[in-house]
């Protein structure tokens, strides 16, 4: 039975335990001497280099070998094999096989959502008023349904905490740090701080009790930066945390949830608004110069609503999460998003998942979870650790949104996860690689629902040389593969820039910038980092990417940050610390991440130069580096490479070349006989000069072309103006404009391809509708259309006297978009025009944006066609946005394709709808938009609010 003590022979048990540990260490760190002997008192992390994930793998192997069940807490706290042996001797028999019966949450639908709320506290209050006893949170348990939390219970618990904080003297807008594990207390605390008028500052709690003091010391910089007045933590950490009060001037008190709850008092509702700070989200890995992202209530609600709209979230969904609540993906994406949409949240601690990854999948099975998220390593852990016997009877068919984000997404992991778990009902269409960052609250780009992973295979040589993502066959063995991370959320924009700040066309790698209602106002008390973050109203993501078909493909990071197990590691800090060790050549240390094709995550590599040659001295030095790395970044390196002088590559100015050093390591050339110093220097200089010269050349050529293009426009514009004003009739004016437009496209070497020109009738009136992507669209249409047309434009253009005269001379029709009465009169007038005369040309989107995508259509063109009974001709323009993008004056080379569709028979459609003009207009709109969407080469942005 489970719980009964299992008897082992101590000597045999210790020998077997040593063997298991040695095998795991050899697999994880092949650079360590194979002959190293495991002793009872060797440190698991400092000397053997076992991080939290490695410890859990060790747990699984020990349990399988000895046939026992051990607490994951034991493996978190154990510091030596002696601790493990002691736990093993007291272990119980294997746990009984769980039935994992389905425990449906059975959420009821809710008729509406809190559209009107402006703060997170208002959001909770809204739900308490409407359904106080509705299930909000279920704390996962292997047995039974686990503890639950309703909306009113969350409010009442938070109110007690808020009253306690106010009694302790908390003032409005003062930061309060939270260092608690996943549980009821965390939810009470976070919401209680908000209700007390404070600003929550989530921090990750210590994994092992033995390292609480070191852990808190690392948090000193964060506490100092945010000027926290109170730290709420666990009883085990309270004594150590008090030591920080002498080092953090603003820290007045260190308290536990129990102490705050015991303080009697009455909650006083503070006054704060939507633009006030909701909480501070510190980016992972912040130590020496912490970056606290300021997020307001407006930011968070905008992001939650945009994500919910993209995912079509409903109260009948169930969200299952093991993500830590100190991370934005777990806090905002899982909890606050579930809170807003009244979605039941089933949650477990990260430690519960890491120790037994099957819990995550079985929780989805048991509670019929529809939404769940994890970084790439979470999916990889399921592939690596779970055996078929762990999954027998598993049903994942309910899972409709499986989000993969927060760290680089591996194409191999996606494919292997879909392949393996399809036999358990998992659908490929459910897997959604996403992109986001704390500076955009959490979410920034999501793929379309039900599409499944989109993997782009591109030419490796062209990409590495020129930064162009040229597609190749997926079977090409040298192809680079990147995962599409979706399209910008509604209201948000992304652009890709070259090194000079010019926006790049599709399939060109550059720096990713973004903006939108979810974006932060900056880092808290960090002007230096804010200068690097902002570029006008755009924010720098720190990522490299390219866009294709509206999708974002992340290719790397501009600052060489290493992401491992969901946490950021900053190489420079570690390089400086290791360089200070005796025996290491200071300034000749490089830290980088190297992709592990087996695990799907990055391996942390520390490459150092040393003059030592004695094996014993080298081994001692390696141990010191491992211990120092563990202290600094809370995880050991996967490999420490000690190399002779001259190994670490640098630029001519003495800067470390991390990318080149990584390539040297991955090519296996470290340790091989080196060429003469002058030859190495020459190769480094030459290899750096060639791409720099190529980039400089491309920049000069692109700049000259843009200048030439505007020069041609400047030269031709006066002639076009004079011609339009002096030519006696419209037919001559149109022919003149057409010849100029064709001459300009030839002079700029912009090929224009026309498909379907025969579909334009020459002897009858019609309504033409075309997508709008650039200022060039009108010029392109003038050059390719075989007959003159009347453009329909917005009335605001009439405010410019010169433009008004020009447009009137080509008989442009105008529509008022803001005055409803004038708009109705304009619509009637244009409908009358549609009954006779020249064809009418509409841009039904009404405007255009920088980002590729087809916006929803206004109904004016289609109502006019339905009322007049004239056919509608859809026209798709492709390529103009890349040549001249909105908000940019930089001309780029490109090609344009104009595809003209067959006329839509309005009379026939009207007859099918029994003469209903509105139904006819809707049908015309849908058919025309479907044609344009298929031929414009851009994604569908109809998820944004329709202007109808």
Residue 208: band (very low, low, confident or very high) from pLDDT cuts 50, 70, 90: low
95 CB burial (10 A radius; 0-12, 13-18, 19+): middle
pLDDT at 285: 41
- The total of structural domains in the chain comes to 5
- All residues at 6 or more sequence positions from 793 whose CB lies less than 8 Å from its CB, including other chains: 807, 812, 813, 814, 815
pLDDT at 406 over 60: yes
CATH of residue 62:
1.10.1200.10
pLDDT at 680: 47
Looking at the fold, whether 242 and 278 belong to one and the same domain comes out as yes
Mean pLDDT for the chain overall: 84
**Encoded tokens for 243:** 């030591």
Cα(458)–Cα(471) distance, integer angstroms? 4
**Encoded tokens for 412:** 């191999």
Q: 341 to each of 29, 336, 405, how far by Cα in Å? A: 46, 9, 21
Looking at the fold, whether 650 and 755 belong to one and the same domain comes out as no
Q: What is the pLDDT of residues 557-572, one digit of tens each?
A: 776 667 665 555 657 6
pLDDT at 35: 41
Looking at the fold, whether 71 and 165 belong to one and the same domain comes out as no
Half-sphere exposure of 765 (CA within 13 A, CB side): 17
With b meaning 16 or more CB within 10 Å and e meaning fewer, what string describes 322-337? bbbbbbbbbbbbbbbb
Classify residue 627: in a domain, yes or no: yes
Residue 218: band (very low, low, confident or very high) from pLDDT cuts 50, 70, 90: low
Cβ contact 847:857 at 8 Å: no
- The owner of tokens 């006819």 is 920
79 CB burial (10 A radius; 0-12, 13-18, 19+): middle
Least confident of 25-39, 135-149, 717-731: 25-39
DSSP E strands: which ranges in 879-945? 896-900
Q: What is the pLDDT of residues 888-907, one digit of tens each?
A: 888 998 999 999 999 999 99
Size (the chain), residues: 948
Looking at the fold, whether 581 and 543 belong to one and the same domain comes out as no
- The owner of tokens 């939810």 is 187
**Encoded tokens for 32:** 């360590």
CATH of residue 211:
3.40.50.12780
Residue 887: band (very low, low, confident or very high) from pLDDT cuts 50, 70, 90: confident
Cβ contact 58:81 at 8 Å: no
Looking at the fold, whether 861 and 918 belong to one and the same domain comes out as yes
Looking at the fold, whether 159 and 229 belong to one and the same domain comes out as yes
- The owner of tokens 């490999």 is 639
Cα(216)–Cα(202) distance, integer angstroms? 13
Looking at the fold, whether 543 and 593 belong to one and the same domain comes out as no
More confident residue, 545 or 111: 545
Provide the 8-state DSSP code for 368. T
- Domain range holding 70? 10-89
Looking at the fold, whether 889 and 751 belong to one and the same domain comes out as yes
Which own/partner pairs from 459-463 qualify as long-range (CB within 8 Å, at least 24 positions apart)?
463/509
Classify residue 107: in a domain, yes or no: no
Q: What is the pLDDT of residues 229-277, one digit of tens each?
A: 999 998 877 776 776 777 788 888 999 999 999 877 889 999 889 999 9
pLDDT at 286: 37
pLDDT at 344 over 70: yes
Cβ contact 906:872 at 8 Å: yes
Cα(824)–Cα(835) distance, integer angstroms? 17
Cβ contact 850:885 at 8 Å: yes
Classify residue 392: in a domain, yes or no: no
State what percent of residues in the chain have pLDDT above 90.
45
Residue 143: band (very low, low, confident or very high) from pLDDT cuts 50, 70, 90: confident
304, 326, 355 - which closes a domain: 355
pLDDT at 362: 96
DSSP E strands: which ranges in 283-438? 292-296, 319-321, 345-347, 371-374, 401-404, 431-433
More confident residue, 213 or 47: 47
58 CB burial (10 A radius; 0-12, 13-18, 19+): buried
pLDDT at 600: 61
Residue 677: band (very low, low, confident or very high) from pLDDT cuts 50, 70, 90: very low
Q: Any bridge partners for residue 511, and if so which?
A: 497, 544
Cα(180)–Cα(175) distance, integer angstroms? 16
293, 320, 355 - which closes a domain: 355
Classify residue 95: in a domain, yes or no: no
CATH of residue 513:
2.30.38.10
Least confident of 62-76, 244-258, 589-603, 677-691: 677-691
Looking at the fold, whether 18 and 54 belong to one and the same domain comes out as yes
Classify residue 423: in a domain, yes or no: no
DSSP helix, strand, coil percent of the chain (3-state; round to 5): 40, 20, 40
Cα(748)–Cα(605) distance, integer angstroms? 50
Q: What average pLDDT does the segment 440-465 reach?
A: 92
pLDDT at 666: 83
Angle between helices 151-167 and 120-130 (to 10 degrees): 140
pLDDT at 941: 76
Classify residue 770: in a domain, yes or no: yes
Classify residue 700: in a domain, yes or no: no
Cα(783)–Cα(798) distance, integer angstroms? 24
Residue 585: band (very low, low, confident or very high) from pLDDT cuts 50, 70, 90: confident
Looking at the fold, whether 140 and 84 belong to one and the same domain comes out as no
Helix (H) or strand (E) holding 742: helix 730-747
Cα(465)–Cα(337) distance, integer angstroms? 42
pLDDT at 456: 96
Cβ contact 871:865 at 8 Å: yes
Looking at the fold, whether 173 and 311 belong to one and the same domain comes out as yes
Provide the 8-state DSSP code for 30. T
CATH of residue 873:
3.40.1130.10
Cβ contact 220:248 at 8 Å: yes
pTM: 0.79
Cα(594)–Cα(123) distance, integer angstroms? 44
Sheet with 253-255, strands from edge to edge, namely 199-202, 175-179, 230-233, 253-255
Q: What is the pLDDT of residues 908-944, one digit of tens each?
A: 999 998 888 889 989 999 999 999 999 998 888 764 4
Q: 650 to each of 610, 660, 873, how far by Cα in Å? A: 16, 9, 61
**Encoded tokens for 568:** 């950021």
- All residues at 6 or more sequence positions from 316 whose CB lies less than 8 Å from its CB, including other chains: 107, 108, 109
- All residues at 6 or more sequence positions from 707 whose CB lies less than 8 Å from its CB, including other chains: none
Classify residue 373: in a domain, yes or no: no
pLDDT at 303 over 70: yes
Looking at mean pLDDT, say which of 106-120, 618-632, 666-680 comes out highest. Answer: 618-632
Cα(830)–Cα(403) distance, integer angstroms? 48
- The owner of tokens 């912040």 is 286
pLDDT at 3 over 50: no
303, 325, 355 - which closes a domain: 355
Looking at the fold, whether 913 and 781 belong to one and the same domain comes out as yes
**Encoded tokens for 812:** 């442009």
């Amino acid at each position: 039975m489970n719980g009964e003590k299992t008897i082992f022979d101590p000597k045999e048990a210790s020998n077997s335990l040593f063997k298991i540990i040695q095998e795991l260490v050899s697999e994880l760190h092949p650079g360590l001497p194979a002959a190293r002997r495991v002793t009872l008192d060797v440190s698991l992390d400092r000397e053997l280099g076992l991080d939290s994930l490695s410890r859990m793998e060790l747990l699984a192997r020990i349990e399988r070998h000895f046939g026992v069940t051990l607490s994951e807490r034991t493996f978190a706290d154990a510091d030596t094999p002696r601790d493990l042996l002691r736990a093993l001797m007291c272990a119980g028999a294997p746990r009984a096989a769980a039935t994992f019966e389905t425990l449906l949450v059975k959420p009821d639908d809710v008729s509406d959502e809190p559209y009107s709320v402006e703060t997170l506290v208002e959001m909770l209050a809204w739900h308490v008023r409407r359904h106080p006893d509705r299930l909000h949170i279920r704390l996962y348990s292997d047995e039974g349904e686990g503890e639950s939390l309703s909306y009113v219970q969350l409010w009442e618990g938070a109110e007690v905490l808020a009253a306690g904080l106010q009694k302790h003297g908390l003032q409005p807008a003062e930061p309060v740090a939270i260092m608690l594990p996943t549980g009821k207390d965390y939810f009470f605390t976070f919401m209680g701080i908000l209700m007390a008028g404070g600003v929550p500052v989530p921090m990750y709690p210590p994994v092992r009790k033995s390292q609480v003091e070191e852990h808190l010391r690392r948090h000193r910089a964060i506490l100092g930066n945010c000027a926290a007045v109170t730290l709420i933590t666990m009883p085990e950490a309270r004594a150590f945390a008090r030591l920080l009060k002498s080092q953090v001037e603003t820290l007045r008190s260190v308290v536990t949830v129990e102490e705050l709850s015991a303080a009697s008092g009455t909650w006083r509702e503070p006054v704060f608004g939507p633009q006030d700070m909701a909480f501070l989200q510190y980016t992972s890995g912040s130590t020496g110069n912490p970056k606290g992202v300021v997020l307001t209530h407006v930011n968070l609600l905008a992001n939650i609503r945009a994500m919910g709209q993209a995912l079509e979230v409903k109260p009948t969904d169930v969200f299952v999460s093991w993500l830590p609540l100190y991370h934005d993906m777990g806090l905002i994406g899982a909890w606050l998003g579930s809170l807003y949409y009244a979605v039941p949240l089933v949650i477990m601690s990260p430690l519960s998942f890491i120790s037994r990854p099957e819990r995550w999948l079985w929780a989805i099975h048991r509670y019929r979870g529809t939404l769940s998220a994890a970084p790439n390593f979470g999916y990889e852990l399921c592939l690596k650790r779970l055996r078929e016997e762990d999954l027998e009877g598993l049903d994942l068919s309910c899972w409709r949104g499986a989000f993969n984000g927060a760290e680089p997404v591996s194409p191999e992991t996606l494919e292997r996860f879909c392949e393996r778990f399809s036999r358990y009902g998992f659908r490929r269409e459910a897997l959604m690689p996403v992109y986001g960052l704390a500076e955009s609250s959490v979410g920034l780009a999501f793929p379309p629902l039900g599409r499944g992973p989109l993997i782009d295979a591109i030419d490796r040589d062209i990409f590495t040389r020129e930064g162009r993502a040229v597609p190749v066959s997926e079977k090409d063995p040298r192809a680079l593969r990147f995962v599409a991370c979706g399209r910008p959320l509604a209201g948000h924009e992304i652009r890709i820039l070259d090194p000079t700040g010019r926006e790049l066309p599709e399939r060109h790698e550059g720096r990713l910038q973004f903006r939108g209602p979810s974006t932060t106002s900056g880092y808290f008390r960090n002007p230096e980092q804010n200068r690097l973050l902002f570029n006008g109203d755009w924010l720098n993501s720190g990522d490299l990417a390219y866009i294709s078909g509206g999708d974002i493909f992340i290719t790397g990071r501009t600052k060489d940050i290493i992401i491992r197990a969901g946490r950021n590691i900053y190489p420079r800090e570690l390089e400086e610390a290791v360089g200070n060790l005796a025996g290491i050549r200071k300034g000749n240390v490089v830290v980088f991440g190297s992709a592990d094709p087996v695990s799907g995550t990055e391996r942390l590599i520390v490459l150092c130069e040393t003059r030592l040659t004695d094996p014993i001295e080298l081994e001692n030095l390696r141990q010191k580096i491992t211990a120092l790395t563990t202290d600094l970044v809370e995880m050991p390196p996967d490999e420490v490479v000690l190399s002779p002088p001259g190994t670490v590559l640098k630029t001519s100015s003495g800067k470390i070349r991390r990318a080149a050093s990584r390539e040297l390591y991955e090519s296996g050339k470290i340790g091989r006989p080196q060429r003469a110093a002058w030859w190495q220097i020459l190769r480094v200089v030459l290899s750096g000069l060639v791409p720099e010269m190529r980039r400089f050349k491309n920049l000069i050529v692109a700049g000259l072309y843009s200048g030439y293009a505007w020069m041609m426009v400047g030269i031709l514009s006066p002639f076009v103006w004079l011609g339009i004003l002096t030519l006696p009739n419209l037919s001559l004016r149109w022919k003149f404009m057409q010849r100029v437009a064709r001459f300009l496209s030839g002079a700029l070497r912009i090929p224009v391809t026309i498909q379907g020109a025969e579909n334009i009738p020459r002897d009858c009136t019609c309504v033409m509708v075309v997508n709008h992507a650039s200022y060039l669209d009108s010029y392109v249409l003038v050059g390719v259309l075989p007959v003159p047309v009347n453009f329909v434009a917005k009335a605001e253009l009439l405010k410019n006297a010169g433009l008004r005269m020009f447009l009137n001379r080509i008989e442009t029709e105008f529509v008022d978009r803001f005055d409803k009465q004038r708009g109705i009169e304009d619509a009637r007038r244009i409908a009358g025009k549609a009954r006779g005369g020249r064809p009418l040309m509409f841009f039904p989107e009404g405007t255009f944006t920088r980002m590729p995508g087809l916006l929803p259509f206004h109904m004016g063109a289609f109502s006019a066609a339905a009322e007049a009974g004239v056919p509608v001709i859809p026209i798709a323009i492709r390529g103009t946005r890349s040549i001249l993008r909105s908000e940019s004056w930089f001309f780029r080379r490109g090609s344009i394709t104009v595809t003209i569709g067959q006329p839509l028979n309005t009379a026939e459609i009207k007859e099918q709808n029994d003469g209903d003009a509105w139904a006819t207009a809707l049908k015309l709109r849908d058919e025309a938009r479907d044609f344009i969407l298929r031929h414009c080469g851009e994604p569908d942005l109809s998820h944004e609010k329709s202007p109808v």
